[in-house]
């Protein structure tokens, strides 16, 4: 049993002598003196309790024990190399996994396409995705349980890092064949006395719409409230009424019983990107954010309704 812990520098010097064949070459590689090499080998031998080299004519010839020991050292050095590589990956890319929480409105359009983009760059990264109310998204990110969150802008952003991710001009979803489909765009008075499927009262875009309608003297008949734009589209498709939505949420419904018309004046649906506070994003997180931004840009360029300015 060794009396003291091994000196890793001495082991490194032994490894260099075995690999390079001479103390002189090992000294050159390690940038230390040749006497320093010899002294370190002698100290290692004392630690181990057996000779590593035969000294003949000022040369070191490895003993049988040295060859056995060298095989163990090689395995350990390979393991250390893997540890250094792992540390570099973690430093540059994070843990190899990413956890994302998103509001429902983007979960069936922007998010899936953006994650396909992301996986092409990082095919080995494990992705966890959950859909929640925006307030829950914020709480999960603030607690450090998720690396990224996509939330509507009505959330309280205290306790998280937040920035605007997207702004899309809202539109009115109508059942196919509805009389308002004859219009190229809709104004506040067009919505007067219409059966209306509304977003939750805390939604800031709903609040913007209500202010515009009140100013114009227009009143809708709210027949259902929901926090989910996808639910509004499904209810419009079923013929329950009309609704004001982010148009990208209507993609699966267009041509299947749902039509869209722009609303004037323009009102925007704004989405925030939220991250845990005081935690610099890893390269993986930065690349995922880039994928979201690229997909939003592509969607806005291909959409009937341009992204808000």
CATH code: domain of residue 161: 3.40.190.10
pLDDT in tens, 265-292: 999 999 999 999 988 888 899 999 999 9
Cα–Cα distance for residue pair 172/185, rounded to 1 Å:
9
Statement to judge: residues 154 and 296 lie in one domain: yes
* Residue 12 covered by a domain: yes
Domain carrying residue 45 = 8-93
Q: Tally the domains of the chain.
A: 3
pLDDT of residue 179: 96
Q: What is the DSSP string of 94-149?
A: -SSEEEEEE-GGGTTTHHHHHHHHHHHH-TT-EEEEEE--HHHHHHHHHTTS-SEE
Closest CA to 216 of 177, 187, 186: 187
Nearest CA to 272 among 176, 171, 195, 204? 204
CA atoms within 13 A on the CB side of 97: 7
Token pair of 144 as six digits: 């450090």
Instruction: Verify that 101 and 160 share a domain, yes or no.
Output: yes
29 lies in the same domain as 143:
no
Helix H or strand E encompassing 197: strand 195-199
Predicted pLDDT at 132: 92
Q: Are residues 285 and 247 in the same domain?
A: no
Bridge partner list, 225: 198
Does residue 308 belong to any structural domain of this protein? no
The answer to whether residues 68 and 12 belong to one domain is yes
pLDDT in tens, 98-142: 999 999 989 989 999 999 999 999 998 989 999 999 999 999 999
Q: Give Cβ neighbours of residue 297 (< 8 Å, ≥ 6 apart).
A: 307
- Give the pLDDT confidence of 194-210 residue by residue, as tens digits: 999 999 998 999 999 99
Nearest to residue 131, comparing CAs of 102, 100, 106, 99? Answer: 102
- In this structure, the answer to whether residues 190 and 139 fall within a common structural domain is no
Residue 78 makes CB contacts below 8 A (sequence gap 6+) with none
């Amino acid at each position: 049993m060794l009396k003291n812990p091994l000196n890793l520098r001495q082991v490194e010097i032994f490894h260099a002598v075995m690999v390079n064949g001479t103390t002189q070459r090992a000294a050159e590689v390690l940038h230390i003196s040749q006497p320093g090499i010899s002294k370190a080998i002698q100290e290692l031998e004392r630690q181990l309790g057996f000779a590593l080299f035969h000294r003949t004519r000022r040369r070191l010839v490895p003993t049988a024990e040295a060859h056995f020991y060298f095989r163990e050292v090689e395995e350990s050095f390979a393991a250390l190399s893997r540890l250094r590589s792992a540390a570099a990956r973690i430093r540059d890319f994070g843990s190899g996994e990413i956890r994302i929480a998103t509001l429902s409105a983007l979960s069936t359009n922007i998010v899936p396409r953006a994650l396909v983009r992301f996986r092409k760059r990082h095919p080995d990264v494990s992705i966890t995705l959950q859909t929640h109310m925006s307030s829950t998204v914020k709480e999960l990110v603030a607690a450090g349980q998720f690396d990224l969150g996509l939330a509507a802008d009505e959330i309280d952003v205290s306790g998280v890092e937040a920035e605007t991710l997207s702004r899309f001009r809202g539109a009115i979803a109508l059942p196919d064949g509805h009389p308002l489909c004859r219009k190229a765009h809709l104004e506040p008075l067009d919505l007067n006395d219409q059966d209306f499927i509304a977003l939750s009262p805390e939604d800031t875009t709903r609040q913007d719409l209500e202010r515009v309608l009140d100013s114009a003297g227009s009143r809708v008949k709210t027949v259902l409230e929901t926090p989910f734009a996808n639910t509004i589209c499904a209810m419009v498709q079923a013929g329950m009424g009309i609704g004001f939505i982010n148009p990208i949420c209507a993609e699966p419904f267009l041509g299947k019983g749902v039509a869209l018309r722009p609303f004037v004046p323009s009102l925007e649906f704004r989405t925030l990107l939220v991250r845990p506070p005081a935690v610099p994003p890893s390269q993986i997180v930065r690349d995922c954010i880039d994928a979201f931004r690229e997909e939003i840009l592509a969607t806005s360029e291909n959409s009937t309704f341009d992204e808000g300015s």
